[in-house]
Amino acid sequence: MTEPRRIHILNPRLANQIAAGEVVERPASVVKELIENAIDAGSGRIEVELESGGAKLIRVRDDGSGIAEDDLPLALSRHATSKIDSLEDLEGVASLGFRGEALASISSVSRLELVSNAAEDPQAGWRVVAEGREMQPRVTPAPHPRGTSVGVRDLFFNTPARRKFLRTEKTEFGHVEEAFRRLALSRYDIGWTLRHNHKTVHQLRPVSDAAARERRIAALLGSKFIDNALHLDLESGGLRLWGWVGLPTHARAQADQQYFFVNGRVVRDRLVAHAIRQAYRDVLFHGRHPVFVLYLELDPSVVDVNVHPTKHEVRFRDGRLVHDFLFSSLHRALGEARPNDTADATD
């Protein structure tokens, strides 16, 4: 008979590395988490810079609220967040982050440097460095304009099993660009830059009018997308759906240009996917996939975003209502593409 092994609490670094397994899969996941923090900080400009597909360096720089000196070590601690305080806050959460895990996880599997300034004085600012997560990060003065820069070097340097799963530079950069695309499509009012190996890949000015939004979409998804898309903006019962849906004739062999946002958050949801498929059902050839960039806006308290650590899934309080609203809105928008449908001819 074997003796039972004794139970002990995992040391914090190991606990963070285990948690990192859920949120930090590859450079693109780091980019997503850092950009989400920059958005939550109210930034007007976000710059992303990478070397070697992000395996060597990922840096995200913003002009947001910054982090106060006293809060800097906490920012890297697990379960430390400025975004929620209570269960009520969680239920109505409007920020992209709230779990307080990203920086702790990322810093446990990389060499992370965070420089931030929460003051107006551009000479103020503080730096905190964590290599594979020392428990007591040191804070030293470092000038930085108002805002935050986070640099992540040598991702997975201390977890060789995960480092081995990184693909080629090109593949990793492809995933990063896709993450960037989604986030840049989620906030037109923010100016964005993406640089790879010292070359500018995307430079997007903040925009507010519809024509400029379409230009941004063309820059990110190609002008073919926007030239073959219908614009819609419909509202009913506290729900609003707006954005662009591709004409059925512009459907693709792969479902690779489908962007759906719920309250500014990129979401992949079965109920949403089903409603869209139904709306396109009789106008699309079998095996083809529609393209769309769609924004659903609703009261944050009727949608639960705390379903999965990456927050790509949501749960609607009234799924049926959302499904029917999506279906009828899209069915109506696609009416022009459905000339023989007599049911639509009456409205």
Query: What is the contact surface with ligand ADP in residues (CB under 6 A)?
Result: 33, 37-38, 41, 62, 64-67, 75, 80-83, 97-104, 148
Q: According to the binding rule CB under 5 A, does residue 29 interact with Mg ion? A: no
By a kind-dependent CB cut-off of 5 to 8 A, residue 62 interacts, out of ligand ADP, Mg ion, none, with ligand ADP
Instruction: Give dist(CA 7, CA 2) in Å, integer.
Output: 15
> What would the two tokens of residue 304 be?
């639960």
> What would the two tokens of residue 62 be?
């913003």
How many Cβ atoms are within 10 Å of 303's Cβ, its own excluded?
24
Place of tokens 């949403």: 272
Whichever of 33 and 269 has its CB closer to ligand ADP, that residue is: 33
Burial of 123 (0-12, 13-18, 19+ CB in 10 A): exposed
Whichever of 103 and 293 has its CB closer to Mg ion, that residue is: 103
Whichever of 24 and 296 has its CB closer to ligand ADP, that residue is: 24
Whichever of 149 and 258 has its CB closer to ligand ADP, that residue is: 149
By a kind-dependent CB cut-off of 5 to 8 A, residue 291 interacts, out of Mg ion, ligand ADP, none, with none
> What would the two tokens of residue 47 be?
């710059």
Q: According to the binding rule CB under 5 A, does residue 97 interact with Mg ion? A: yes
Helix (DSSP H) and strand (DSSP E) numbers for the chain: 12, 15
Contacts to Mg ion from residues 33-62, by CB under 5 A? 37
Q: According to the binding rule CB under 5 A, does residue 102 interact with Mg ion? A: yes
Closest distance between ligand ADP and the C-beta of residue 86, in Å? Answer: 14
Burial of 116 (0-12, 13-18, 19+ CB in 10 A): buried
φ/ψ of residue 317, rounded to 5: -65, -45
Residue nearest to ligand ADP (CB): 97
Place of tokens 């201390």: 158
Whichever of 38 and 283 has its CB closer to ligand ADP, that residue is: 38
Closest distance between ligand ADP and the C-beta of residue 175, in Å? Answer: 19
Residue nearest to Mg ion (CB): 97
Binding residues for Mg ion, rule: CB under 5 A, are 37, 97, 102
